[in-house]
Amino acid sequence: MKTQETMPTTKVERSAKFVKTGFQIGGNYIKHYSKKIFNPELSRDELNEDNAADIYKSLSELKGSALKIAQMLSMDKNILPKAYVDRFTQSQYNAPPLSGPLIVRTFTKSFGKTPEKIFDHFNIKSTHAASIGQVHEAQLNGKKLAVKIQYPGVGDSISSDLKLVKPFAFRLLGMSEQELNIYVKEVEERLLEETDYELEVRRSIEFSEACKNLKDVVFPTYYPELSSNKIITMDWLEGMHLREFLQTEPSQALKNKIGQALWDFYNFQQHELRAVHADPHPGNFLITKDEKLGVIDFGCIKEMPDDFYKPFFSLTSTSMFKDKEATIKAFRELKMILPNDSEAQIEFYYKSYKEMISLFAKPYVTKTFDFSEEGFFNDLYQYGEKVTKMPEFKQARGVKHFIYVNRTNFGLYNILHELKATVKTDTFKPHV
């Protein structure tokens, strides 16, 4: 893959990139409607393909929060046309890597030394390039290490990038500005945390220690003395990403074993730690040679306060649904039903959210669940599509915590679906 020699870091450079992409998209629409004159039956598939390619190219060169949003959207399979999902899914595995001089500059700023003076060996060519940083292989005292280097200017550009992404998000998601602002604020807070690599190292050590007794889950060792606010050094975990793993046609028993490790990893955190690894895209996991789940990224952590955790998990794991008043009370606490709603609106949202949560909670209702079940996912996606077209859901509803908690659980469900795993779902229960 061609390396990227420079990266737009200033507000002006990054704005210009977005404006250029906007022009390209405008051109794609003109091309589409010109063709439509001669062929009225023409579908939007080619238009979506062209737009997705242009937006992805722009976001992948901008990296940082811009590319991270592409990554998040690709996991929300029910809100984007297929062309966007296919294209944006690439952001979970690769982006154009940065060139050697930019990498050396980051090391010199952090440690006053080049990487060759710190490690016995450092591969200037990256092995993986993603949204916020890229990974290089290094060796020190006979140990193979993974060194993650943050792209320059990523942290400084988050707020302005999110403002620039807004017009694309309006068009792609059809959200109201109020709803989008709640979303953007929460995304901004998490992204700012993700660019703080010192915080990530502390959390990685904390979480891997807390989760060390989970069966079939492994973590790399982290080295704070070889890390800084822009660089993270950890052990190199050998393994395959999900896509490569599935290409080896593993047995159903092995897919179930990895699926169970994933389920336990997430539900232990949600219910025992009340804070969860909120970036469940396949690029953050490896399946190791000894058939364990390796977790290699703790950049995005979502903490769940009591006033969210208790009403939310009471709805998914107790018989509260049988009591209409108690359910409506929980919906009010979670701001899914608002103070000024009329009787008719209360009834409408009560029924809608009850249907939504009943669907979402299906895996929790039985002791085991088969995630290969196409019907379950079709119902989820169809319900999601139905909701996005309903005017009643154009207004922002629900506390901000839903954004990352839903993203986490649907991301988990999607990986389990790709694994076609059957898992025991009663290993860690909510404390409500």
Residues of the chain above pLDDT 70, percent: 69
CB-CB contact of 61 with 21 (8 Å)? no
Per residue in 405-416, pLDDT tens?
A: 887 888 899 899
pLDDT at 372 over 80: yes
Q: What is the pLDDT of residue 83?
A: 44
Q: State mean pLDDT over 365-372.
A: 94
Per residue in 241-280, pLDDT tens?
A: 998 999 999 999 999 999 999 999 999 999 999 999 988 8
Where is pLDDT greater, at 288 or 134? 288
pLDDT at 164 over 90: no
pLDDT at 77 over 50: no
Q: How confident is the model at residue 36 (pLDDT cuts 50, 70, 90)?
A: very low
Residues of the chain above pLDDT 90, percent: 46
Q: What is the pLDDT of residue 73?
A: 47
Up-side HSE of residue 133: CA atoms within 13 Å toward CB?
24
Angle formed by the axes of helices 82-89 and 45-62, nearest 10°: 30
Q: How confident is the model at residue 93 (pLDDT cuts 50, 70, 90)?
A: very low
Residues β-bridged to residue 217: 293
Where do the domains of the chain lie? 11-94+156-174, 96-129+132-154+195-236, 238-432
Q: Provide the token pair at 17.
A: 């990139």
Least confident of 97-111, 173-187, 234-248, 269-283: 173-187
CB-CB contact of 96 with 1 (8 Å)? yes
In whole angstroms, how far apart are CA 202 and each of 122, 140, 227, 296, 310?
Answer: 24, 21, 11, 14, 27
Q: What is the pLDDT of residue 190?
A: 80
Where is pLDDT greater, at 396 or 247? 247
Q: State mean pLDDT over 63-76.
A: 48
Q: What is the pLDDT of residue 1?
A: 44
**Torsion angles phi and psi, residue 275, rounded to 5:** -150, 140
In whole angstroms, how far apart are CA 412 and each of 76, 103, 248, 361, 407?
Answer: 12, 33, 21, 13, 8
Q: What is the pTM of this model?
A: 0.76
Where is pLDDT greater, at 352 or 164? 352
Least confident of 152-166, 196-210, 270-284: 152-166
Q: Render 258-286 in DSSP notation, one character per residue.
A: HHHHHHHHHHHIIIIISEEE----GGGEE
Q: What is the pLDDT of residue 10?
A: 55
Beta strands in 236-382 (DSSP E): 275-277, 285-287, 293-295, 301-303, 368-370
Nearest to 287 by CA among 312, 317, 255: 255
Where is pLDDT greater, at 184 or 352? 352
pLDDT at 15 over 60: no
pLDDT at 94 over 60: no
Q: How confident is the model at residue 76 (pLDDT cuts 50, 70, 90)?
A: very low
Q: What is the pLDDT of residue 160?
A: 67
pLDDT at 41 over 70: no
Q: How confident is the model at residue 40 (pLDDT cuts 50, 70, 90)?
A: low
Q: Label residue 294 left, alpha or beta by phi (over 0 means left) and psi (-120 to 50 means alpha).
A: beta
Q: How confident is the model at residue 132 (pLDDT cuts 50, 70, 90)?
A: confident
CATH (one of 2.60.40, 2.60.520, 3.30.200, 1.20.1250) for 96-129+132-154+195-236:
3.30.200
